[in-house]
Structure 1
């Protein structure tokens, strides 16, 4: 029975991965059911029963999420191009759908996103994706490395984690103005607070970029710092890298007590290697670092 359930979930996961990879293409019921190797006559009900929303609704939300990321974080594409990539025949149809879902026009969202309705709108999509994305980590997933010290430029985020998108926008704009492309300058986050136990107003996280020269602040509050070198337990996370909490819990709650190691006095941090929407969401990659004595 367990093997049958696992096989079923693998086939459904294959559908989600296919949708992620082909958001620019026609995605109909025949194609999705074929990827899952299920009868198209029953697949729609199976998908809805598994994920809590229809295939059509899931695809709509996935395209709209990618579009909203491109609006907020990528300025190379016009609103018209983003609308077409989201499956709309005309920008005004995209604008109506966007406003209905988020309470802002695409242009207004690009300039100053309101993140609270954005988070609420994607609740059903995040819930659907989490149904089959419970990663079970094992000690074999953790490696111990000696890492070199890394000089970084730091932009702090302080306050509600729900508003981190605004800080990310500023961080991306500052990096672009400073010529610090993610392709050549590594990206890190340092987690000073646990969002489960810290009041939202006191939450603290650093957005960092590795640097090898002095950096101009260009009107932003940018600090110079160093991620210290030394021994680290490293856990690689592939997919859903917006939520590193399960990986962090595994390191602290399960791996560390069983390992016989002792944590060093530096916050948990991660390095981000690939980013949504440049890659499909399930292909985003990050590594979580726990500093050891």
Structure 2
């Protein structure tokens, strides 16, 4: 039995309460990566005995608690190295919980086979080449599109309107309040798997509906915790969520977490099931490089302002940003 089959089987057999407790620990670690953790502390978050928690975590996650913390730190650092190119390696190391530049470099080299500085340079070159090839491919056999960009400034918000021959796209940078979310989480591959998301939302709405937590203005979002270009797809995490009042109690497979408020770039698209990746690529490849903003290191998410119609999804892609 390979790891994928083993993980799927374990996922199906796992008690929902165990899954919820492990998710709670992962959320806690991710929110506090800049400091050290103790086994007592994390076992307390999970409501497990410290004498058994480490073994339980390893059995459920297929990696030790230490390995998960170390991998999460190094993958976050790798992402920041790419999106904050003016930031020093040492600053990123401390921000992600490493006690020294030397320890960070040694750990990074173990994961990626090169130093953080070299990795940053190589990935930047690859990204630039990929962007050129993508643009070249999209223009093959097409007349050049005439495009104009209009920028509006009002009420402490920036709004970009991209007007082209074939489409019109709007991006708005605005502040979001802190949100409390109930969620169901999946760990593993998810790209292009519509049935998976249908199942996850079925579980979430099956819990929320009888509790009268779903209304006309309820926010539904998908949170992507990891960068699929950095994290192995078997360890990718996605949470499907709906906004709830902070006082609402959750149990079993349903978890609760806080989405940090702040400034987000919000791009609205109407796409089919296979159009999400192209929409994300447009945000990162077309809008972001000319916006004057860079991604912040908070998770990005998809917000669904209305129900799907005729196989089309209206989605707001929300990327946390800060000035370049």
TM-score, normalising length: structure 2? 0.44
TM-score, normalising length: structure 1? 0.48
Structure whose residues are more often strand by fraction: 2
